[in-house]
Structure 1
Amino acid sequence: MPNLRYLEPTELLEKIYATLCSEYEDAQHYESQQDQEEIKVTKKRLTKKIFNEFVVDEEYFLTMKNETFKERYQLYEADLIRMIQECSENRIDYETFIQIIDDLIASAKFRLQAFEQLSDEIQKLQEEDEQDEEEGE
């Protein structure tokens, strides 16, 4: 198992990922338009299920409060979906897949930390300005 910093993979995540990989493989063997459409819908649904199965800070993306998701991960949603699709389409092994996802989540966490640091610095400056004003009176 890779050394993950943020992603907390579940057993179900691994099973859904394996199923999605097999859907991409199976798609090569069906020629009818109807079969291809059904496979396309299945791949889309499984991709979303994988996305919803991501657990970070002991919280599933699926059940995360909307405000929390928007603040932390919405900017990365398209990238995460793309990673899921491209990894499964190219049959990237599961351990590498979760490492890639963990790296992308790390980027989201670092971004959030940078904005928190900025807010802290602004607050410190505002407090210093208020203190200077009080001393000047």
Structure 2
Amino acid sequence: MSELKYLEPTELLEKIYATLCSEYEDAEHYKDEKDQSEIEVTKKRLTKKIFNEFVVDEEYFLTMDSDVFKERYHLYEDDFLRLIKQCSENRVEYETFVQIIDDLIASAKFRLHAFEQLTEEIQKLQEVDEQEESEEANVEADEVEDEE
């Protein structure tokens, strides 16, 4: 398997992914409406289980603090679910699947980093503005004292 940068795959992730792929395969062979309905429910549930099994920075999506998840990955949730569905539906090899997911996580990380950079830059600018205002206030105070 190629080197992943962010995703920390678990054994369970691989097993759930294999099961989901087999559900898509089963769907091709079962023609009964009831069977198709049950398979569809199973596919949706397994897709969500895979999503929840993603581990990044030693934390599962499932147990990640909701504010942290919202800040970092919520924007990408539909993309994650779409990739899981399309990879499993087309029986993409597990190693390729985790690489694809890792790439999407990288995108989320780069986005987060960009906003962190912006926040740092804004803080620097605010500090400079505050320092300039303070210096101007000191100059004005000195001028008032000189006039007296």
Normalising by structure 2, report the TM-score.
Answer: 0.92
2:78 is aligned to 78
CA distance in 2, matches of 1:134, 1:107: 41
1:121 is aligned to 121
1:54 is aligned to 54
Mapping 1:97-136, distance limit 5 Å = 97-136=97-136
2:34 is aligned to 34
Give the 4+ runs in structure 1 shifted more than 4 A.
none
1:12 is aligned to 12
Post-superposition CA distance 1:13-60 (Å, at most 9, x none): 000000000000011000100000000000000000000000000000
1:2: how far off?
A: 1.6
Aligned residues: 137
Aligned to 1:9, the other structure's residue is in SS state coil
Mapping 1:89-100, distance limit 5 Å = 89-100=89-100
CA distance in 2, matches of 1:122, 1:31: 59
1:81: how far off?
A: 0.1
CA distance in 1, matches of 2:47, 2:2: 22
Structure 1 unaligned blocks of 5 or more: none
1:135: how far off?
A: 1.1
CA-based RMSD of the aligned residues comes to: 0.4
Structure 2 unaligned blocks of 5 or more: 138-148
Aligned residue type for 1:29: H
Quick one: higher RCO (CA 8 Å, sep 6+), 1 or 2?
1
The percentage of counterpart residues that share the same residue type is 77
2:142 is aligned to none
CA distance in 2, matches of 1:129, 1:65: 35
1:68: how far off?
A: 0.6
1:136: how far off?
A: 1.3
